Amino acid sequence: MDRALAGRRIPGRTRTVSHPSAEPLSRRRRLRGPASDRGSTNIEMAILFPTFVMLILLGVQVAIVFYGRTVALAAAQQGAAAESAYGAPDGAGHTQASAYLTRMGDVLTDWEITVTPVTEGGGEATAVRVTTTGNVIGWLGIRFTVSQTAYSPIERFTTESDS
């Protein structure tokens, strides 16, 4: 290149800067912000990340507890339906609810099933109430107790004169 043309600008050509350190210092500082903010993103993430993880794990724990409640209710409903069926043998509700909880695996631990006949005014049972209680294990080993109850009238053959 000719020394006489070295300092002149050629129309139509622009000068490109390939390295950030070649820019003026004031422009670099404007792009990054004040010098006191450098590294603040790392500190923010160090504080917020554990909070987000705890919120996610809390959501999972709530879902597990509600799932345990659903399983307990389903067992109680199946037990009530089996116990209140026409001509059902004694203990059919307990057997059916126990079989359901066994099939569901470890959703509920230390479960207990209570079958209670309901009498309304007379000596004969007119309905049955089945309560299923058990523990749901959390992700930190915390146990949550859930209890669900189902009610069903006992099916029986009646005539018009019985009403």
What dihedral angle (degrees, nearest 10) is formed by the CA atoms of 43, 49, 51, 52?
150
In terms of residues, how long is the chain?
163
* Residue 16 pLDDT greater than 70, yes or no: no
**C-beta neighbour count of 44 within 10 angstroms:** 10
Residue range of the domain that includes 106? 39-162
Position 155 in a domain = yes
Place of tokens 């005014």: 121
Position 28 in a domain = no
* Residue 90 pLDDT greater than 80, yes or no: yes
Position 75 in a domain = yes
* Residue 28 pLDDT greater than 70, yes or no: no
Number of domains making up the chain = 1
Position 76 in a domain = yes
Position 69 in a domain = yes
Position 84 in a domain = yes
